[in-house]
Chains A and B, each alone.
Chain A
Amino acid sequence: MPDRDVSLLRPYLLTSGRTEPIDRNLEIETQVLTSELGAASYAGLSFERRDIVALCTKTMSVAEVAAILGLHIGVARVLVADLAALGYVVVHRPIAGLAGDPAMIERIIRRLEAIS
């Protein structure tokens, strides 16, 4: 299926089967992990989408996906959001308001202090 250009330029065309609304504006540190469905559907996917599903069997960020596959960050973000809408990957987004959570910040500080 020659959908390469479509997937790069107008990915929203590919999301008619979406099951849940996904913010296309994923934070670039969002963690991406291939789902069982994605792994099972791997052979039927094309181009970048297949690459992403193959890559994210190990959890990584949207930024890493972009860097490793040589995609512009905006393109990687949209492709991942769409794969997530289709259930092929699971995304784990940053927790909103975490910068205002003293216990969490203290925990990060303690761990960072231990780095030598």
Chain B
Amino acid sequence: MKPSVESRTPTPVKIIIAGGFGVGKTTAVSSISEITPLRTEAAITTASEDVDRTGHVPEKTTTTVALDFGCITIDDDIKLYLFGTPGQDRFGFMWRDLARGALGALVIVDTRRIDECYPAVDYFEKAGLPFVVAVNLFEGRLSHAVADIRWALAIGDHVPLITFDARAKLSVRDALLTVLRTTLERATSQ
């Protein structure tokens, strides 16, 4: 069989969906993606954190991190990809790779475990990538005041802090729009 060839190739753009484990990254991607989210794995090399009992110097180990993603066709020429990635310090290497060329990032927070998003916030802050912090309203209401969350995360006023529902398509759309408006603001102020 000789495969036949079509001709369109859209320009890909991407937004990173980050946050701690189980905060709703995959749920958010599924809510708005036009394809069933796909999953792929990336191998990352990390130094193990603990010195073992025999006192050996930590060895480098290879861990596999799942990356799931979906996409939205913007128009004939542009295709938006959403990459969901677990955020941990030791995945920094993968993030650098993933974030290169991204339009921005959505950092999802579960207020019951606020600290889990620190590495992501920290990373995007340092990388200079426009990002928005989005509180996933698991229980339908906030368990902390927004100002407290902002304080706990130590994010400046330039970082939008919103609430959303990862299960609702339009809510995810609006969260992504907040990311893009932050990107736009950055682009026009340069």
Residues of A within 8 A of B (CB): 25, 27-31, 33-36, 38-40, 42-43, 53-54, 57-59, 61, 63-64, 66-68, 71-74, 76, 90, 92-96, 98-102, 104-109, 111-113, 115-116
Residues of B within 8 A of A (CB): 1-14, 32, 38-43, 64, 67, 69, 71-72, 74-75, 78-81, 83, 97-98, 100-104, 130, 169-170, 173, 176-177, 180-181, 183-184, 186-188, 190
Chain B binding surface, main DSSP class: mixed
Q: Which residue of A lies closest to B38 (CB)?
A: A67
Does B13 lie within 8 Å of A59, measured CB to CB? no
Give the complex CA separation of A57 and B186 in angstroms: 38
- Chain B: minimal CB distance from A72 (Å): 5
- Chain A: minimal CB distance from B45 (Å): 11
Give the complex CA separation of A63 and B14 in angstroms: 12
Does B43 lie within 8 Å of A94, measured CB to CB? no
Among A28, A34, A109, contact of B180 (Cβ-Cβ < 8 Å): A109
Does A31 lie within 8 Å of B75, measured CB to CB? no
B-chain residues with CB within 8 Å of residue A105 when the two chains form the complex: 103, 180, 183-184, 187
Does B67 lie within 8 Å of A73, measured CB to CB? yes
Other A-B contacts than A61-B81, A105-B183, 11 sampled, CB-CB below 8 A, are A29-B101, A30-B12, A34-B5, A39-B3, A57-B3, A57-B5, A57-B6, A63-B83, A72-B64, A92-B10, A112-B74
Among A27, A67, A112, contact of B173 (Cβ-Cβ < 8 Å): A112
A-chain residues with CB within 8 Å of residue B81 when the two chains form the complex: 29, 61, 63
A-chain residues with CB within 8 Å of residue B188 when the two chains form the complex: 102
B-chain residues with CB within 8 Å of residue A76 when the two chains form the complex: 40
Does A99 lie within 8 Å of B187, measured CB to CB? yes
Among B12, B72, B75, B186, contact of A92 (Cβ-Cβ < 8 Å): B12
Give the complex CA separation of A111 and B71 in angstroms: 14
Q: Which residue of B lies closest to A108 (CB)?
A: B74
Does B6 lie within 8 Å of A98, measured CB to CB? no
Does A109 lie within 8 Å of B184, measured CB to CB? yes
